[in-house]
Amino acid sequence: MADALSLGLTGLAALVVLIAARMPIAYAMILVGGIGIVALNGPALMLNQLKTLAWGQFSIYDLSVVPMFVLMGAFAARAGLSAALFRAGNAWLGWMRGGTAMAAVAACAGFGAVCGSSLATASTMGKVALPELKRHGYSGALATGTLAAGGVLGILIPPSVVLILYAILVEANIVTMFLAAMLPAALAVVLFLLTIAAYVAIRPGAGPAAGAADRAEFRAATLGVLPVLGIFALVLGGIYAGFYNPTPGAAVGVALVWLYGTLRGRLRLGEMRAALLETASITGMIYLILLGAELMKIFLSRAGLPQAAAEWILAAGMEPMAVLVLVLLALILLGCLMDSLSMILLVIPFFWPVLVEINGGPWQGAEGAGFGMSTEDLKIWFGILALVVVELGLITPPVGMNVFVISAMARGTPMIDTFKGVTPFFLSELLRVGLLLAFPALVLWLPRMLGG
């Protein structure tokens, strides 16, 4: 057993080295997982896994939702939805101090609902909102910090591709995870709006009011956003109401976004071809990472690493909540170094079995005594917490990926100003993590109430 554990630890170290050496994470996991399985159990088991594993992974019906939502996001990025959302938000909120920045946050939330990608949300909304924020005299720090932070909303607001993949990894219900994400996502939007209000109260010159929209402009902006809200309602409302499950719901979303973009003249043949190629590339990358993650999971499980970690924690007498906090801190640090999708697929197969073992630990002897909840509830609560701290990693100084995306677009604003601007949002995200840790009902109440 000791030899197997040593091999498992060596494999983890090798994986970190390969990723640091810029090997694509899918290839690194396939290489380390495959060699590890061969070293532990011989080539026969590995050959058998290669014969059946890819088919077993990729033929999962729930996984078919991924390319559909990726395509929906690719169409949305080219169909002008982001501009319609920002115009409406600015018409509603631009009259107040900091209102244009608030409109950018609201637009990021709306675009995240049809895109599901944080980096895509940040880059797309940056193109639309950054010129307007500069035109209205916003400071570089507040403008870029708002957009970098607003981009993180894309990872949690349903439909989120990362949330779907987490649900598949831990065998959770996708609709239940969508329901669980609603209140935490709404909390993030509210906290971001309050952060902007506090920022401009302290520094009034950083976010001047844009002036109230006239009646015609307000009416046009509101009517322009109604199709976007209708797409959101038909896709997610239909899924929650049980009219269709997530895969047909995603297909409905693709059709509606395509129709919207076509009627507006934004989705011509060239744009559609680019969206399809982007979807094929992203989906292929996701599936390959999934295969690598499954090989790593088999290797680590056969090496006994998750079980050994749980036994070490039990022997050390660490409280379950302390363990969870350490896991979340690790995810924040990893979120600074790699994209959210790769990180979730890499670390969840290792951390989740450890938390399951701890949750059934000997603290009180009852089911779920470790965290005071069942394994099913823990699955939901931990998933939302994990995605929130992955969001946090995207804006964590000094390596947040969203900050680099926005900073590359705002060439007149030094990156240090962008990090200064994102710091208040980072603190508000820490507050949200604390609230979700202290009050699991913020995550679990809606799925329980609606029977998700």
- The string of DSSP letters for 182-245 reads HHHHHHHHHHHHHHHHHHHHH-GGGS----PPPHHHHHHHHHHHHHHHHHHIIIIIHHHHTSS-
d(CA 177, CA 89): 28
Structure tokens at 377: 């509830």
Is residue 116 a contact partner of residue 73, using CB atoms and an 8 Å limit? yes
Q: CA geometry: angle at 392 spanning 340 and 375, to 5°?
A: 70
d(CA 231, CA 306): 42
d(CA 13, CA 199): 43
Q: Which pLDDT score is estimated for 337?
A: 66
User: Is residue 256 scored above 50 in pLDDT?
Assistant: yes
Q: Please tell me the least confidently modeled range out of 5-14, 51-60, 345-354, 385-394.
A: 51-60
pLDDT mean over 240-261: 87
Q: Which pLDDT score is estimated for 362?
A: 46
d(CA 17, CA 199): 41
Is residue 18 a contact partner of residue 32, using CB atoms and an 8 Å limit? yes
**Tens digit of each residue's pLDDT (9 = 90 or more) over 109-148:** 888 777 766 777 787 788 888 888 888 888 888 888 898 8
Q: Which pLDDT score is estimated for 2?
A: 53
pLDDT mean over 190-201: 93
Q: Which pLDDT score is estimated for 184?
A: 93
User: Is residue 45 scored above 80 in pLDDT?
Assistant: no
Q: Which pLDDT score is estimated for 363?
A: 43
DSSP alpha helix (H) spans, 360-412 = 375-394, 401-409
Strand, helix or coil for residue 132 = helix
Closest by alpha carbon to 294, among 71, 46, 86, 100? 46
Give, as one character, the DSSP assignment of residue 157: S
Local confidence band at 369 (pLDDT 50, 70, 90 cut-offs): low
Give, as one character, the DSSP assignment of residue 139: -
Q: Which pLDDT score is estimated for 197?
A: 92
Local confidence band at 397 (pLDDT 50, 70, 90 cut-offs): low
Q: pTM of this prediction? A: 0.84
d(CA 382, CA 109): 22
The long-range contacts involving 185-189, CB below 8 angstroms and separated by at least 24 positions, are 185/109, 185/153, 185/156, 185/157, 185/158, 187/432, 187/435, 187/442, 188/152, 188/153, 188/156, 188/388, 188/391, 188/429, 188/432, 189/105, 189/106, 189/109, 189/153
Chain-wide mean pLDDT for the chain? 83
**Tens digit of each residue's pLDDT (9 = 90 or more) over 49-94:** 777 777 877 777 777 888 888 888 888 878 878 888 888 888 888 7
The alpha carbon of residue 3 and the mean position of all alpha carbons in its chain are separated, in whole angstroms, by 37
Is residue 394 a contact partner of residue 401, using CB atoms and an 8 Å limit? yes
pLDDT mean over 309-332: 81
Q: What is the residue extent of each domain of the chain?
A: 62-281
d(CA 405, CA 410): 9
pLDDT mean over 235-254: 85
Give, as one character, the DSSP assignment of residue 373: S
User: Is residue 428 scored above 90 in pLDDT?
Assistant: yes
pLDDT mean over 200-208: 86
**Tens digit of each residue's pLDDT (9 = 90 or more) over 271-299:** 999 989 988 988 888 888 888 888 888 88
**Tens digit of each residue's pLDDT (9 = 90 or more) over 209-227:** 777 777 888 888 888 888 8
Structure tokens at 333: 């640090």
